[in-house]
């Protein structure tokens, strides 16, 4: 079983489908092998993608984030070559602006101002201290009370003279520092203007890049970043991360992605640790995922069809019927509706459960089949892998189930409010530390097999995160057989689909 450690995912803007691409243990192992070959790490994201070609062979793509090209690595997005000259011109202007800012920040007036300011502060402080001492002596003489008017006037004249000396020193300070301050302020204002000019040039270049950069997806669409994101503000570097590069290149080469993994290599920082795996970044990558993954959809395998019914092998991860919200619109019924087929699901399978799903082509057929389900005339056989070894070989689980309306769709065993629920089970194999079982539900309650396994057998189904089963790449529950009377011919139909795990 391929363990999944993360899903790259996004909502298709046209269909509302939730599209996912896993990061698996195999992808991580290949990425770890790549780590050993990186000789001059600059501190950036690296990544690999496993893609299946037309011959069914697996190819490995590798990429690094940021600009630059290297033999054997996925190139930058298509479009940069169209504006290479303009980019070089703007980058040269930006370098000129940068150098002018550096020169303005290092003009000699800064040092002259600091030196003169410190020098005048020392003089003013020394003069103030000297005058303070003189004042104390004058105050002492005045307090003696034996000075005549002439002597008192002399002391007052000395006081006035010292005030003039302080004033003169401050005026001299102003005269020396004023031209220095003017030059410094002029330089600072020019720096502000240059930084604004630099921001404008960078923004213009980014807009030009986003108009030129083209992204491709698996539906055959190709859009520029500018058209893709519309009026949304794009962070610098959008489109230059590993995931967009890898998915775009795979789409261009006709490879069907199987798994992908990204990691940080180089000096660790506050946000990134060397050798650690990371998902799609929220600012630059995640907004593009819905478009990039478009075309990678879970296929609907029709296992039986006639003029009245359709039976499909529903893949795990797909809803039977759409929910109320945008992220729950990808469903079996909606997919058929987009094909012009208005079908009615006769029963439902949980999103994470795979297997046979029966749909009616008319209301009369639906009613006839629904009655068979209600009368318990339909035989349903599920196969599951439990996350531990079970000692009992077979038996019936009889536990009433109740769904709290405040915590849908979670079900619990409730002897007062629960509805009668019975499930037959039989062990059909043991694989390592796991048990493989067949379940035949006699009733059709929500999550019946999952809760009966956890509460009735004391062991959760492998991958059942809702009811505390051991984590895995999927819920290991599959509806493998459905037997019923055809509503038109009255013949018994036995539909069987192999278990995929």
d(CA 320, CA 305): 17
User: Is 438 in contact with 383 (CB distance < 8 Å)?
Assistant: yes
CA distances from 354 to 23, 100, 315, 425 (A): 21, 65, 5, 18
User: Is 47 in contact with 329 (CB distance < 8 Å)?
Assistant: no
CA distances from 21 to 5, 142, 420, 440 (A): 11, 95, 39, 32
Q: To 5 degrees, how large is the angle CA 466–CA 401–CA 328?
A: 45
d(CA 180, CA 295): 66
Pure H helices in 74-108? 84-105
- Who's near 161: CB < 8 A, 6+ residues apart? none
Strands (E), 269-338: 277-278, 301-305, 309-314
* Residue 350: active-site member: yes
The residue from 350, 364, 464, 473 that is catalytic is 350
Which of 250, 309, 322 is CA-nearest to residue 493?
309
CA distances from 34 to 26, 47, 66, 262, 287 (A): 13, 9, 18, 11, 27
d(CA 225, CA 247): 14
Say if residue 288 is exposed, middle or buried (CB neighbours under 10 Å; 0-12, 13-18, 19+). buried
What would the two tokens of residue 141 be? 């003489």
What would the two tokens of residue 226 be? 């500018």
One DSSP character per residue, 170-209 reads: HHHHHHHHHHHHHHHHHHHHHHHHHHHHHHHHHHHHHHHH
409 cis-preceded (ω within 30 degrees of 0): yes
Catalytic residues, by residue number, are 350
């Amino acid at each position: 079983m391929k363990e999944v450690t993360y899903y790259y995912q996004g909502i298709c803007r046209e269909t509302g489908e939730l599209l996912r691409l896993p990061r698996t243990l195999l992808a991580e192992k290949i990425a770890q092998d790549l780590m050993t070959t990186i000789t001059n790490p600059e501190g950036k994201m690296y990544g690999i993608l496993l893609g299946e070609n037309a011959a069914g062979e697996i190819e490995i793509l590798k990429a690094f984030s940021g600009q630059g090209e290297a033999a054997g690595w996925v190139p930058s997005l298509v479009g940069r070559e169209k504006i290479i000259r303009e980019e070089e011109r703007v980058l040269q202007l930006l370098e000129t602006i940068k150098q002018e800012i550096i020169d303005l920040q290092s003009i000699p007036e800064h040092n002259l101002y600091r030196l003169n300011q410190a020098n005048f502060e020392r003089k003013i402080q020394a003069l103030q201290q000297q005058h303070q001492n003189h004042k104390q002596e004058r105050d002492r003489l005045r307090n003696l009370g034996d000075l005549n008017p002439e002597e008192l006037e002399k002391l007052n004249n000395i006081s006035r003279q010292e005030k003039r000396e302080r004033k003169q020193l401050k005026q001299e300070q102003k005269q020396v520092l004023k031209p220095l301050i003017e030059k410094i302020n002029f330089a600072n204002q020019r720096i502000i203007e240059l930084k604004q000019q630099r921001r404008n040039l960078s923004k213009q270049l980014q807009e030009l890049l986003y108009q030129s950069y083209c992204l491709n997806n698996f539906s055959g669409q190709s859009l520029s970043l500018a058209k893709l994101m519309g009026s949304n503000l794009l962070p610098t570097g959008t489109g230059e991360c590993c995931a967009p590069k890898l998915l775009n290149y795979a789409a261009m080469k006709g490879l069907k992605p199987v798994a992908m993994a990204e990691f940080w290599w180089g000096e660790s920082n506050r946000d990134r640790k060397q050798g650690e795996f990371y998902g799609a970044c929220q600012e630059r990558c995640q907004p593009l995922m819905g478009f990039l993954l478009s075309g990678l959809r879970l296929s609907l395998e029709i296992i039986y069809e006639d003029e009245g019914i359709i039976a499909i092998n529903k893949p795990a991860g797909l809803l039977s019927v759409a929910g109320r919200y945008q992220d729950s619109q990808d469903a079996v019924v909606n997919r058929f509706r987009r094909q012009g087929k208005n079908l009615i699901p006769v029963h439902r399978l949980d999103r994470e459960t795979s297997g046979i799903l029966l749909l009616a082509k008319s209301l009369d057929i639906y009613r006839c089949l629904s009655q068979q389900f209600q009368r318990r005339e339909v035989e349903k056989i599920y196969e599951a892998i439990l996350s531990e070894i079970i000692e009992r070989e077979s038996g019936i689980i009889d536990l009433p189930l109740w769904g709290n309306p405040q915590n849908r769709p979670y079900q619990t065993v409730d002897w007062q409010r629960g509805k009668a629920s019975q499930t037959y089970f039989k062990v059909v194999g043991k694989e390592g530390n796991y048990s493989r079982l067949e379940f035949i539900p006699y009733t059709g309650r929500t999550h019946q097999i999952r809760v009966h396994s956890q509460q009735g057998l004391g062991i959760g189904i492998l991958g059942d995160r809702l009811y505390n089963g051991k984590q895995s790449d999927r819920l290991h529950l599959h509806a493998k057989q459905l037997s019923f009377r055809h509503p038109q011919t009255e013949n018994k139909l036995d539909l069987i689909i192999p278990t995929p795990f």
